[in-house]
Amino acid sequence: MARTLVMGVLNVTPDSFSDGGRWVDADAAVARGLALVDQGADIVDVGGESTRPDADRVDAATELRRVLPVVEGLTARGVAVSVDTMRAGVAAAAVDAGATCVNDVSGGLADPAMLGCVAERGVSYIAMHWRGHSRAMAERAVYDDVVAQVCGELGRRRDAALAAGIAPQRLVLDPGIGFAKNADHNWAILRRWDALEELGFPLLLAVSRKRFLGALLASGGTPRPPHERDAATAYLSGHFAARGVWGVRVHDVRASADAVATAGRLGER
Ligand code: PMM
C-alpha cells in the first residue's frame, strides 16, 4: 500500500450528526461525492442510515432507496464507493451496483447474513467494534479495561469474518470511536493504537467531527460545533497516517488529504 487512503463521508440521511439532511436528494448527493473526489477522496463512503447515538433505525427499503441511486451515480463516473450499512441486503444491492467495499459498523453482528454475503461477493469489508444499536449504545459504554476489551471483541469479529470466507487481504478493522464509548474510552484507544495493530490487520481511523473532539475543544461548557472540529480531525489524520493507518474516514476531505500527504512526505527516507 502506497499511502493512507482518504475515505470521504457521504451521508444520504436526514439526521446524521454533522451532515444530516444536506444530501438527501440523489443528484445533490452524487455531486457532493464527486466534489469529495476533487478534494482528494480515494473512496466515497455512502450511508443511508444514521448511527448517531439515540438515532432510530430506518427500514431496509428506505435505506436502499436513499443509497442505491447514489452508489450507481458515483460508480458510473468511476468513483470507488464503499457502502456504510449493517444490512446484507443493502450491501448486496450496493455491490451489485458497483460498490467495492462494505463498511459495516456492526462488524457482522447486526445481520447474520452479512459476512457470508460479503465473502460471496469478494469485496473489501470494514468490520467495526460495536456493542449494539444507537439506542443501546450509551448504557453499554462500560469497560474494566477498554483497550483490552475492544481488542478482544474486535478480534472475535476478525475471526468470524475470516471463518465466513472473507479474504484476509480484503479485511479492515476499526475500533469504532464513539460507539458505546465515552470520551475517555476514545482517548484510551487512540493512545494505545499499538494494541489494535497487534490484531494484524489494516486499520481505519474514524474520528471525524465526533463528540469527544467537540468536548475537547469546548468553550465555556459549550461543545465546539461539529463543522468546527476539522482542524482536530485533520491533526489526527496526519498523526495516524504517519503510523501507517490504512485509511481515515472524514467529512472535510481536503484537510485530511493534505495532512496525509504531508505525513507521507515527512516520513520518506
Ligand atoms: N462512524 C459513523 C458512521 N460510519 N463507519 C466506520 N467504519 N467507523 C465509524 O466510526 C463510523 C462509520 C458515524 O459518523 P457519521 O454520522 O459522521 O457518518
Neighbours of 181 (CB within 10 A): 25
Q: Say how many Å lie between the first and final Cα of the chain, rounded.
A: 16
- More confident: 16 or 210: 210
Q: Which atom of ligand 1 is nearest to the CA of 20?
A: 16
Residue 210 CA to residue 31 CA, distance in Å, equals 24
Residue 206 CB–ligand 1 contact under 6 Å: yes
Give tens-digit pLDDT for 61-94: 999 999 999 999 999 999 999 999 999 999 999 9
What mean pLDDT comes out for the span 98-111? 98
Q: Is the dihedral of CA 48, 67, 76, 107 positive or negative?
A: positive
Q: Which of 87, 209, 249, 254 is catalytic?
A: 249
Residue 105 Cβ < 6 Å to ligand 1: yes
In the predicted structure, residue 124 carries a pLDDT above the cut 70 = yes
Which atom of ligand 1 lies nearest, measured to the CA of 51? 13
State the pLDDT confidence band at 20, using cuts at 50, 70 and 90: low
Q: Is the pLDDT of residue 129 over 70?
A: yes
181 is known as an active-site residue: no
**Ligand 1: which of 82, 103, 131, 237 to mutate, most ligand atoms within 8 Å of CB?**
103
Cell of 55: 438515532
C-alpha torsion sign, points 25, 96, 10, 64 = positive
**What is the mean predicted confidence (pLDDT) over 121-132?**
98
Phi, psi of 133 (to 5 degrees): -65, 165
Q: What is the mean pLDDT of residues 222-238?
A: 98
Residue among 3, 5, 52, 7 nearest 251 (CA): 7
Residue 81's nearest CA partner among 73, 92, 71, 89 is 71
Please state the rounded mean pLDDT for residues 220-238: 97
Per the structure block, which three cell numbers stand in for 111?
Answer: 445481520
- Specify whether 87 is catalytic: no
